Amino acid sequence: DRALVWFRRDLRADDHAALYAALRAARQVWCAFVFDDEILAPLPRADRRVEFIRDSLVDLDDQLHSLGLSHGVQPVRLIVRHGQARALLPQLAAQLGVQAVFASHDDEPASLARDNQVRGELAAQGVSLYTSKDHVVFERAEVMTATGTPYSVFTPYKNAWLKKLTPFFVKAWPVARHAGALAPWPAELGEPGVPELHDIGFERTDLHQMRLPSGSSGAHELLADFLARIDAYDRARDFPAVKGPSYLGPHLRFGTVSIRHLAREAWQRMQAGSRGAEVWLSELIWRDFYHQILHHHPRVDGHAFKPEYDRIKWAHGKEADALFEAWCEGRTGYPLVDAAMLQLSRTGYMHNRLRMVTASFLVKDLGLDWRRGEAWFARWLNDFDLAANNGGWQWAASTGCDAQPYFRIFNPVSQSEKFDPEGKFIKRYLPQLAALSAKAIHAPWQALPLELAAAEVTLGENYPLPVVSHDEAREATLARFAAARGGP
């Protein structure tokens, strides 16, 4: 009758499947989070995501405390540990004398391996590990083709997904109703409290200047702001200078908001006729889609979904490395690409349209292996998620399931003209181009020398010349893909 809930990428106390299951199953329930050194060790010491998690834990601790208070149990506090989850979790279970540990599914290959090990250790102590769906609306093999195989094309998947959706699947788990089973803080664990960043070896970042409020309270703030403009999402979402999307990515990543809640909000509005809500729901379905792809094809982590494209000979060597650096640092000479890459490193966010443009540019203009770009995004994105990032990269690289066909190659200049017509977004990150006209800003090397001089732009000095010619790169890319496909 004692249970422990192990929080991972589900940092909230409302509408929480595992917490609900534990509260129903046991009379005394503790809640814990482990800062896992296996995940933290490779990260830079200042990482916005670690700070986001830390701050979200403070919020979660408050929520649990209030839930306890409302049922006359106190003090209910979150147990936070730092070290190796594989070792600490079984230790904690033994210390608390629980019979069961509850957690949410995490289908990333490394997480599954960790969970299997923890499951084994717990079993040796006579403790069960129960895991359940929380992170997506439909997971694993819940949406399959009529012949029982996984979908690899989005549109039929989406249709099947929508067909399967009933209010049951987006209903909230009523945690608060059963919160009387939360157990007070066990004195033998010492003092409660969420550690400071420096206690776990990290430094503060500029997260607080990012307009990215953390925790469930932050998620609800962003959601309220977004729902007021969701009807315009379909029209606004493609323009990086416009406040079109929800900016909820990191909240979905760390589970500070329930996907069921978001899907419910979107679905209701869609049924009431909102085109914006319909398109947004479709984006949430892309998220489920890539999660089930990773579940059914874990090899996509590191390999092309379409195996023939593992034969592609990507550019390598010193010159390729220099091009990669120029891309990372926003020095390619293509203003939209450069502004986007600066947005990524300076804020941890990059607009979806720009993720497509910069990813395509890396692969099809620079001829570089998509995995290099994937890793760079993984390093910087606040909302980095293996399934979605890998899916997005393989889509742009044409190596993925239902990807952009290889011969469709974004032109970085026309993308810029179309989606940032006045160069408003570009100027935010490249102030040295601020005086260029809306016509010249997308391709400054084509501008009249007189205009460049008047705008005080000296190519090669205060802004780079293009590192590649798009037309030549296009030909090289077609040849590269043709060779891998076994002929022109």
Hey, which residues are catalytic here? Answer: 283, 286, 314, 352, 370, 393
Question: What is the four-CA torsion angle of 254, 374, 197, 220, rounded to 10 degrees?
Answer: -30
Among 101, 337, 396, 403, binds ligand FAD (CB under 6 A): 396
Closer Cβ to ligand FAD, 258 or 389, answer by number: 389
Q: Which stretch binds ligand FAD (CB under 6 A): 105-113, 186-194, 386-394, 398-406?
A: 386-394
Within residues 257-286, the interface with ligand FAD by CB under 6 A covers 283-284, 286
- Which residues lie below 8 Å from residue 151, measured CB to CB, with a gap of 6+? 143, 144, 145, 157, 160, 289, 292
Q: Is residue 248 at the binding interface for ligand FAD, with CB under 6 A as the rule?
A: yes
Count of residues of this chain found to bind ligand FAD when the rule CB under 6 A is applied: 27
Closer Cβ to ligand FAD, 24 or 261, answer by number: 261
Within residues 156-195, the interface with ligand FAD by CB under 6 A covers none
CA distance 275 to 259: 20
Min separation Cβ 415 and ligand FAD, Å: 13
Q: What amino acid occupies position 146?
A: A
For ligand FAD, the nearest residue by Cβ is 392
Q: Is residue 257 a contact partner of residue 59, using CB atoms and an 8 Å limit?
A: no
Q: Is residue 16 at the binding interface for ligand FAD, with CB under 6 A as the rule?
A: no
Write out the H or E segment, with its range, that includes residue 79: strand 79-83
Q: What amino acid occupies position 463?
A: Y
Q: Is residue 363 at the binding interface for ligand FAD, with CB under 6 A as the rule?
A: no
Find tokens 């493609």 and name the residue: 238
Min separation Cβ 27 and ligand FAD, Å: 36
Among 6, 290, 410, 429, binds ligand FAD (CB under 6 A): 290
- Which residues lie below 8 Å from residue 297, measured CB to CB, with a gap of 6+? 150, 305, 401
Q: Which stretch binds ligand FAD (CB under 6 A): 151-159, 338-346, 375-383, 472-480?
A: 375-383
Q: Is residue 16 a contact partner of residue 173, using CB atoms and an 8 Å limit?
A: yes
DSSP 364: I
Q: Within the chain, what is the greatest distance between any pair of CA atoms?
A: 79
Interface contacts to ligand FAD, rule CB under 6 A:
237, 245-249, 252, 283-284, 286-287, 290, 352, 355-356, 359, 377, 381, 383-385, 388-389, 391-393, 396
